[in-house]
Amino acid sequence: MRDHAEPGIRTQHLRVLTPADDDEFLGVRVPVMRKLAWQHRALPLEHVDVLLHSRVHEERFAALLVLAEQVRGARGADRKALVDFYLARTDCVDNWDLVDGSAHVVLGPWLLDAPLDSLDLQDAQDVQYAQDVLDELAGSARLWDRRIAVVATLALIRAGRFEPTFRLTLQLRRDPEPLIHKALGWMLREIGRRDEQVLVGFLDRHLAELPRVTVRHATELLTPGERARFVRTRQGVTAGRGETHSH
């Protein structure tokens, strides 16, 4: 990765990612890291762990990409072990690009396999349900854990399973962080990409409860008239409450 470092990319990353004080950036493009991760997809987990705990941002990113490759090729208990490895180290997933590059491709495949809740299995004991994992992440004090929960549902959305995203949207609608509001809007937009009627129905029912930025992102792919209807209505609700701050 150091051989592929570019000063201009490093400057760009420093501008858009607002890293922690002790982060180090090399300036490596994401496609380069993806190629390197694929080439090293058999990297032992103990080495993935070392990379995940590095203060070099790209090393953490590469570790997550390697983990995603391993999850893609694993099944059953082996996949669950990799997911547990990821969930035990979410403190290393500490910026939006790391979340967005890993949640739906590391946690997401397991969510597709796991029972969503106790209604999916009869007489099951000691089963970890997908919704329990999402709820635990969504209830975390860490911003990035909450964003992991939201972005992980992209895998479910692509499989036509929208309810977990709707549930998290209502659960996190009063989250104090704009990065959560934006992620919710992004996931809702992805639902609308696949079933616009379902998205419009959800917005019609819950519009007054949702942050304005969530509504703006969620409606980006709607027709101009339909989008304007939702945005204007949401602005009217905010004005009626006397809110002056933006989300």
> Is the CB of residue 191 less than 8 Å from the CB of residue 183?
no
Residues 32 and 144 in one domain: yes
CA pair distance 106, 68, nearest whole angstrom? 5
Helix (H), strand (E) at residue 247 = none
pLDDT at res. 188: 98
Residues 22 and 143 in one domain: yes
Residues 37 and 151 in one domain: yes
Burial label, 238 (beta-carbon count in 10 A; 0-12, 13-18, 19+): middle
Residues 8 and 90 in one domain: yes
CA pair distance 11, 57, nearest whole angstrom? 13
Residues 8 and 20 in one domain: yes
Identify the domain containing residue 235 by its residue range: 173-247
Q: Which residues contact 48 (CB under 8 A, 6 or more apart)?
A: 63, 66, 67, 85
Residues 129 and 72 in one domain: yes
Q: How far is CA 146 from CA 23, 167, 175, 178, 208, in A?
A: 21, 13, 9, 12, 22
Q: Which residues contact 12 (CB under 8 A, 6 or more apart)?
A: 27
Residues 27 and 103 in one domain: yes
pLDDT per residue over 188-238, tens digit each? 999 999 999 999 999 999 999 999 999 999 999 999 999 999 988 887 665
Which residues of the chain are under the pLDDT cut of 50? 121-127, 244-247
Residues 23 and 127 in one domain: yes
Q: End of a domain among 172, 201, 226?
A: 172
What letter does residue 28 receive in the DSSP assignment?
-
Question: Could you give the count of Cα atoms lying within 13 Å of 70 in the half-sphere of its Cβ?
Answer: 24
Start-to-end CA span in the chain (Å):
37
What global pTM score does this model have?
0.90
Q: End of a domain among 172, 197, 221?
A: 172
Residues 27 and 102 in one domain: yes
Residues 141 and 209 in one domain: no
pLDDT at res. 231: 87
Of 181, 241, 240, 189, the residue nearest 212 (C-alpha) = 181
> Is the CB of residue 117 less than 8 Å from the CB of residue 161?
no
How many folded domains does the chain comprise? 2
Residues 19 and 117 in one domain: yes
pLDDT at res. 115: 76
pLDDT at res. 125: 47
Residues 165 and 217 in one domain: no
pLDDT at res. 240: 52
Q: Which neighbouring-strand residues pair with 162? A: none
